[in-house]
Structure 1
Amino acid sequence: MAETWAPSGAPPGARWLPKVRVGFEARNARWWWLGAGGAVVVGAGVAMAVWGMFPVDLHEPTHYAGIMAPTCGLTRSVVAVFLGDVAMAWRYNPAGLLVAAVAVAALARLLAGVFVRRGPVLRVRPGRIGWMVLGLALVALEIRQQGQAGLLMTTGLR
């Protein structure tokens, strides 16, 4: 019978449990890409909130057959967040609230690193339980988005 590896001194089941550490890091070079991605999301979200959605259709082929992916409605959800309509953002895709919050936090972390030369770092090791919860959350989001197919098939937010 093969045993799973765990660090010496770790309690039994340590690989199953999530670990979260918060700290500060003096270097900004390691996380610039996350802040740049946040800047793109915030910039595009604010631009679409002000001038309207881009006239480009980014749906996957299954969308036209009525099969919704977990990411369907994510762009409209983020734009609704920047419009200040949290209820509509939730209707389009609950993950949009998380994406907008992470984008703003990543941009703020980038700016803090530029001006203060140090910024907060959140390190998450989900462990086996965390990965299972994430998988179940994605399945639940897929089921929820399929139930919102009527709303997601409309053009919306013009």
Structure 2
Amino acid sequence: MASVGLRWDSSDRHRVWTYVAAAGLLVGAMLAIFGLPPADVHTPLHHVGIMDPLCGGTRALRYTMLTEWRLAWTYNPLSPLLAVGAVLALVRHLVGVLSGRWLTIEWRWSKPVIVVLALAVIALAVNQQLHAGLLAS
């Protein structure tokens, strides 16, 4: 059996992801309209110069929503990817509502999936630390 599979179902088995996607895009739209939040949303490690994989995510989401793709990617490559994924989740929802058939994505936690995800998180953490000067400002 493959680690990832696709199939069509007669019901939505991933409805919660539709809500998460809509909420994320709503937050992004608010960031684009009103700007960054006035509160400090950094972790304590950020203040001593240690950047985690999520550092820069708020600014990157704002730039993504403003279609400033290069800046968004510079602040955090994960944000534009998540925003595109959120749009695809809403398109999936719309197709399901209109057709009555829902695309279901199934995956299982196999060793290759875990290794790939761990390497991706490590690569993102290294990337963010390499941009510590930018992210600390």
Is the aligned partner of 1:133 residue 2:129? no
Q: Deviation at 1:35?
A: 0.3
User: Once the two structures are superposed, what CA deviation does each residue of 1:47-89 show, in whole Å capped at 9, x if it has no partner?
Assistant: 2112212222211111111110011011211221111111111
The range that moved more, 136-145 or 33-42, is: 136-145
For residues 33 and 131 of structure 1, what CA distance do their matches in structure 2 show? 23
Is the aligned partner of 1:53 residue 2:53? no
Query: Conserved in 1, the CA contact under 8 Å of 2:3 and 2:113?
Result: no
Of the candidates 41, 57, 77, which is equivalent to residue 74 of structure 1? 57
Q: Which residue number corresponds to residue 6 of structure 2?
A: 22
Query: Conserved in 1, the CA contact under 8 Å of 2:51 and 2:129?
Result: yes
Q: Which residue number corresponds to residue 144 of structure 1?
A: 127
For residues 81 and 109 of structure 2, what CA distance do their matches in structure 1 show? 17
Of the candidates 85, 88, 91, which is equivalent to residue 108 of structure 1? 91
Of the candidates 63, 70, 76, which is equivalent to residue 87 of structure 1? 70
Identity of aligned residues (%): 36
The range that moved more, 141-150 or 123-132, is: 123-132
Letter in 1 for 2:6: V
Runs of 5+ unmatched residues, structure 2: none
Q: Which residue number corresponds to residue 136 of structure 2?
A: 153
For residues 76 and 84 of structure 2, what CA distance do their matches in structure 1 show? 14
Question: Would you say how many aligned residue pairs link Structure 1 and Structure 2?
Answer: 137
Q: CA RMSD in A?
A: 1.7
Aligned CA distance change for structure 1 residues 55 and 112 (closer, same or farther; 3 Å): farther
Q: Whose helix proportion is higher, 1 or 2?
A: 2
TM-score by length of 1: 0.78
Runs of 5+ unmatched residues, structure 1: 1-13
